[in-house]
Amino acid sequence: MILFLLACGTEPADTAASDSGTCETAVTWQNFAQGYFASYCQSCHASTTPDRHGAPEGVDFATEAETREQAAAVRRTVLTNSTMPPGGGLLEDDVALLTEWLDCAPAR
Ligand code: HEC
């Protein structure tokens, strides 16, 4: 019974730990992610865009908070499945920086 409870409890905790606090990075919203999401995502994924090109309502990447909330979906669509941005064209440098930004809590 105790083992069962522990097994249930560990997975979300592990995920949370790997999303923040296990490493520090110089890659921040201000010096990288904001510009990245503005260049590659916000033309479709922002509440202010004149034409979402079919991007779902609420899947927006205009602020750090809303982007962090959707970190898992960003990782999946951009890094794992390469379905976003739709035309592709992700630079190698950006892959490395985006991976680090998603993995690490910025040093503050
Ligand atoms: C040219 C417009 C366009 C751009 C640019 C774009 N997207 Fe999308 N996005 C879409 C459309 C259309 C959908 C809905 C269809 C789909 O899911 O494939 C979508 C869906 C999504 C979803 C939700 C679907 C899912 O599988 O969770 C995520 C997350 C996402 N995009 C992330 C991104 C990210 C991150 C970027 C920037 C790297 C980006 N998109 C750039 C048009 C765009």
Q: Where are the domains of the chain?
A: 26-101
Determine which residue's CA is closest to atom 37 belonging to ligand 1: 41
20 or 66, greater pLDDT: 66
Residue 33 pLDDT more than 70? yes
| Coil, helix or strand at residue 28 | coil
Are the C-beta atoms of residues 27 and 99 closer than 8 Å to each other?
no
Ligand 1 atom 3 nearest Cα: 44
Judged against a pLDDT cut of 50, whether residue 15 lies above it is answered with no
pTM: 0.83
Average pLDDT over residues 66-78: 96
Torsion of CA 94, 98, 100, 106, to 10 degrees: 120
Cβ(86) – ligand 1 distance below 6 Å: yes
Which of 77, 80, 98 has the most ligand 1 atoms within 8 A of CB, as the residue to mutate? 77
The CA–CA distances, whole Å, from 75 to 4, 80, 99 equal 30, 6, 8
Pairing of strands 105-106, 24-25: parallel
